[in-house]
């Protein structure tokens, strides 16, 4: 029997993405976010609260990186989501992670994250629910260790984690349980001949 829970933001899975920007003093700012993702072939959408330090950096720089953290960086990544850059201006330094400047956008690439999208801000839209940032992907960087033999990203090799909004947990990702656009093919019936 289903129980009525009312209005809650309960969907699973939710991503754990890391937004990388530069502060006005050139220090690195990284923030964990879960409300967003791919919205077109070359676009990402980020739903953020307008008072984040990251938002000020997005407005000033017009660029960001969006990275997928591995489980080996979960504690540092979680810290970057807990602590506000408005209160701790150089929070990134405390993590022990390392950053280099992107060759394509005015934003940092965090070396320990295995997959990074380099993006430029296309549009920032005030919506009733908050701020929506649309970013155009200009390049993707991936560690060779997460690529398959054809040079494609292998999700299992990312060793990433997902966010659980319902119980505030992180869940490991990696086991393949089916093949997209193939596992359900048994339900397709032959079309009747005309």
Model pLDDT, residue 103? 97
Task: Give CA separation, 35 vs 16, 47, 132, in Å.
Answer: 9, 5, 10
Model pLDDT, residue 74? 97
Q: Which CATH superfamily is domain 17-176 in?
A: Electron Transport, Fmn-binding Protein; Chain A (2.30.110.10)
100 Cβ contact list (under 8 Å, min separation 6): 108, 109, 111
pLDDT at 84 over 80: yes
Model pLDDT, residue 193? 55
60 Cβ contact list (under 8 Å, min separation 6): 24
Counts of helices then strands in the chain (DSSP H, E): 4, 11
Average pLDDT estimate for 35-45: 96
Q: What is the mean pLDDT of the chain?
A: 94
Q: Summarize pLDDT for 167-185 with one digit per residue, the tens.
A: 999 999 888 889 999 999 9
Average pLDDT estimate for 25-39: 96
Give the SS3 label for residue 19.
strand
* Among 126, 144, 122, residue whose Cα is nearest residue 135: 122
- Torsion angles phi and psi, residue 103, rounded to 5: -80, -10
The residue written with tokens 């992107």 in the block is 102
* Both structure tokens of 56: 């000020």
Query: Order of strands across the sheet with 36-40?
Result: 28-33, 17-22, 63-68, 115-127, 130-142, 43-48, 36-40
Q: Where along the chain do its domains lie?
A: 17-176
Q: Summarize pLDDT for 3-19 with one digit per residue, the tens.
A: 999 999 898 889 999 99
Q: Summarize pLDDT for 124-183 with one digit per residue, the tens.
A: 999 888 899 999 999 999 999 999 999 999 999 999 999 999 999 999 988 888 999 999
Model pLDDT, residue 167? 92
Paired with 66 in beta bridges are 19, 117
- CA pair distance 183, 194, nearest whole angstrom: 28
- CA pair distance 45, 134, nearest whole angstrom: 5
The number of residues making up the chain comes to 194
């Amino acid at each position: 029997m289903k129980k009525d829970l009312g209005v809650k933001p309960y969907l699973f899975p939710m991503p754990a993405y890391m937004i990388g920007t530069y502060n006005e003093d050139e220090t690195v700012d990284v923030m964990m976010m879960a409300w967003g993702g791919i919205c077109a072939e070359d676009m990402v959408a980020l739903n953020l609260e307008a008072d984040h330090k990251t938002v000020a950096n997005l407005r000033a720089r017009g660029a960001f990186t969006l990275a997928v953290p591995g489980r080996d960086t979960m504690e540092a990544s979680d810290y970057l989501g807990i602590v506000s850059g408005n209160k701790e201006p150089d929070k990134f330094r405390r993590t022990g992670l390392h950053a280099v400047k992107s060759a394509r956008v005015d934003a940092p690439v965090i070396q320990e994250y295995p997959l990074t999208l380099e993006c430029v801000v296309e549009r920032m839209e005030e919506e009733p629910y908050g701020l929506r940032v649309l970013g155009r992907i200009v390049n993707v960087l991936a560690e060779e260790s997460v690529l398959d033999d054809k040079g494609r990203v292998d999700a299992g090799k990312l060793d990433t984690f997902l966010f659980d909004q319902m119980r505030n947990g992180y869940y490991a990702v990696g086991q393949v349980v089916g093949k997209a656009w193939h596992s359900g093919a048994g339900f397709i019936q032959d079309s009747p001949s005309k």
